Structure 1
Amino acid sequence: MAATRQVGVPHPRLPLPEGQDDLVAFQQWLGEAIPMVGALGITQMARQGDVLTWQLALAPSLNDKGTGFGGALTAQTTLQGWCWVTLWLRERGLARDVVVAEASQRFHAPVTGDYRLVCAPRDPQGPDILAEKLTERGKGRITLDQRLYCGDKLCLDATGSYAVLPEG
């Protein structure tokens, strides 16, 4: 049985990878570090270039109408952006704290079945700009867009600004 998280006590960081990050190990650690992750219905994570894609089951996020609960979907988009930045840092051998600074969502259609979330930088140069800021100032921000699809139907657009905090 996993240890219970304590309020005010940081969870130990996942060791940095030697080579390519293992998304299965990252997802397991994520569930330990953030207990609600286990209830979000994430069935798979995949990365290709600057795109992070999650496959999710709808059942854990149902609302009273039998569709996706907006609060759960919002939590998923915010968390996915945080994961994008954390994985990006890990790929560069950096273990740093990441926080969401701003987030917004726009709902286009009800989520009526299992779905996928796709996260990518708003600006294709965003990762390079973030890398420069981290080198110059020891901290930086990046804006990420998340899109939720049921099949080919876009159900939700979200945007988040994520800050990488200075060391120490």
Structure 2
Amino acid sequence: MREIGIPHPRLPLPAPGQDDDPARFLAWLGEAIPLVGHLGIRRMTRDDRELTWELELTPSLNDKGTAFGGALTAQATLLGWCWTTLWLRRHSLARDVVVAEASQRFLAPVTGDYRMVCFPEREEGPVSLAEQLAARGRGRIALVQQLWCGDTLCLEARGDYAVLGGS
């Protein structure tokens, strides 16, 4: 049971050269952030550039029978946080990540299960983040989140994620 004001223990870093097991990371995330269990995340996949969630619509239904914008906003924000956290973990860094700024554009109603994809806004974003961390011990990266329902782009979000200095 989570307690207010008490940080949740970090997930141990993967061994150097190893990636996080997606199921293990999602299980930890659900313990660390109780809301995660209610978001309808069915699957998480990751490559060098993108982090993708496959989600069920049902937990995010609104009164019109489509997705509730507030739920989508929370999912997009958290997906960016996860992208940044997993990038840090891949580089053997245990750091705190916070969203510094976020915006979204709703382009079409979400009428079925969907996928959200997160990637750096600029191709050089991860390299720039690594340079900032090496020089100052903290940094920032701009990420894009897109929500696709089939072949339809329904939401495009953008967020700046700050990596705080190490302790």
Q: Calculate the TM-score normalised by the size of structure 1.
A: 0.97
Question: In the alignment, which residue of structure 2 is the partner of 1:16?
Answer: 13
Distance, in Å, in 2 between the alignment partners of 1:40 and 1:111 is 14
Is 1:7 paired with 2:4? yes
Q: Which stretches in structure 2 are left out of the alignment for 5+ residues?
A: none
Aligned pairs (5 A) from 1:14-93: 14-18=11-15, 19-93=18-92
Amino acid at match of 1:37: V
Distance, in Å, in 2 between the alignment partners of 1:49 and 1:127 is 10
Please give the secondary structure, in 1, of the residue aligned with 2:109: coil
Deviation of 1:167 after TM superposition, in Å, equals: 1.2
Deviation of 1:48 after TM superposition, in Å, equals: 1.4
Deviation of 1:134 after TM superposition, in Å, equals: 0.1
Work out the number of aligned pairs and report it: 165
Deviation of 1:20 after TM superposition, in Å, equals: 1.9
Q: Which stretches in structure 1 are left out of the alignment for 5+ residues?
A: none
Question: In the alignment, which residue of structure 2 is the partner of 1:101?
Answer: 100
Q: Calculate the TM-score normalised by the size of structure 2.
A: 0.98
Amino acid at match of 1:27: L
Aligned pairs (5 A) from 1:147-166: 147-166=146-165
Amino acid at match of 1:40: L
Post-superposition CA distance 1:123-168 (Å, at most 9, x none): 0000000000000000000000000000000000000000000012
Deviation of 1:38 after TM superposition, in Å, equals: 0.2
Please give the secondary structure, in 2, of the residue aligned with 1:109: coil
Please give the secondary structure, in 1, of the residue aligned with 2:37: helix
Sequence identity, in percent? 67
Please give the secondary structure, in 1, of the residue aligned with 2:112: coil
Post-superposition CA distance 1:27-47 (Å, at most 9, x none): 000000000000000000000
Amino acid at match of 2:2: R
Distance, in Å, in 1 between the alignment partners of 2:128 and 2:144 is 16
Distance, in Å, in 2 between the alignment partners of 1:129 and 1:28 is 30
